[in-house]
């Protein structure tokens, strides 16, 4: 199932991170890793004129989605078993579209006046849970206790 979601702005700066495992959403490496993935995506786009859609590793699969209007990027980390279950990329794309619609609407003012304060986006974790849960991708994960339930 989905393990982590990272949202990067159009400059490749990670502005939101959510960990579905119930452990802390403060992962000290997420900014470094997200920036690295952004560079890989840019390399494939400009070097090969193609887009990176998935990256498979032994234990994980990373799905990449770029919002067409804003050029913001969403990186979804899933357990490798998701790929073996033939999870369709379109289902994850559907989640990405909903995440972007909600995030860009909810934080339009903050994004227009972005000053580097990432904490203003933390409240989006509850929205992420609802979007992902509605698509059935949260089985096996408990809701992070720091996130209020609806």
pLDDT of res. 120: 92
Count the domains in the chain. Answer: 1
Residue 145 domain-assigned (yes or no): no
The pLDDT score that the predictor gives to residue 87 is: 53
- Per the domain annotation, does 53 fall within a domain? yes
Residue-wise pLDDT for 77-126, tens only, equals 888 766 555 556 778 888 999 999 999 999 999 999 988 888 899 999 98
Left, alpha or beta for 64 (phi > 0: left; psi -120 to 50: alpha)?
beta
CB count, 10 Å around CB of 41? 20
6-11: average pLDDT = 90
Residue 58 belongs to some domain of the structure? yes
Flag whether 28 is in a domain.
Answer: yes
pLDDT in tens, 27-83: 667 777 787 888 888 788 878 877 778 888 888 888 999 898 998 999 998 887 665
Confidence grade of residue 6 (pLDDT, cut at 50, 70, 90): very high
107: containing domain: 2-134
Indicate whether 61 belongs to any domain. yes
Burial of 3-24, coded b for 16+ CB within 10 Å and e otherwise, reads bbbbbbbeebebbbbbbbeeee
With respect to residue 13, please indicate whether it lies within any of the assigned structural domains: yes
**Domain at 25, CATH number:** 3.30.450.70
Q: Give the pairing of strands 2-8 and 73-79.
A: antiparallel
73 inside domain: yes
Reported as a single tens digit per residue, the pLDDT across 125-136 is 989 988 888 766
DSSP 3-state assignment of 106? helix
Whether 59 is in a domain gets the answer: yes
Sheet holding 60-66, edge to edge: 14-19, 2-8, 73-79, 60-66, 54-56
């Amino acid at each position: 199932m989905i393990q982590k979601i990272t949202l990067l702005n159009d400059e490749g700066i990670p502005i939101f991170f959510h960990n579905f495992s119930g452990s802390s959403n403060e992962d000290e490496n997420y900014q470094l890793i997200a920036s690295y993935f952004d560079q890989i995506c840019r390399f494939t786009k400009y070097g090969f004129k193609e887009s990176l859609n998935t990256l498979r590793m032994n234990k994980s699969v990373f799905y990449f989605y770029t919002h067409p209007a804003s050029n913001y990027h969403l990186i979804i980390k899933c357990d490798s078993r998701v790929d073996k279950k033939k999870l369709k990329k379109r289902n994850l794309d559907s989640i990405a579209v909903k995440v972007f619609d909600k995030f860009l609407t909810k934080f339009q003012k903050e994004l227009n006046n972005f000053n580097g304060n990432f904490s203003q986006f933390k409240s989006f974790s509850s929205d992420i849970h609802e979007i992902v849960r509605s698509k059935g991708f949260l089985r096996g994960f408990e809701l992070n206790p720091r996130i209020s339930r609806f």
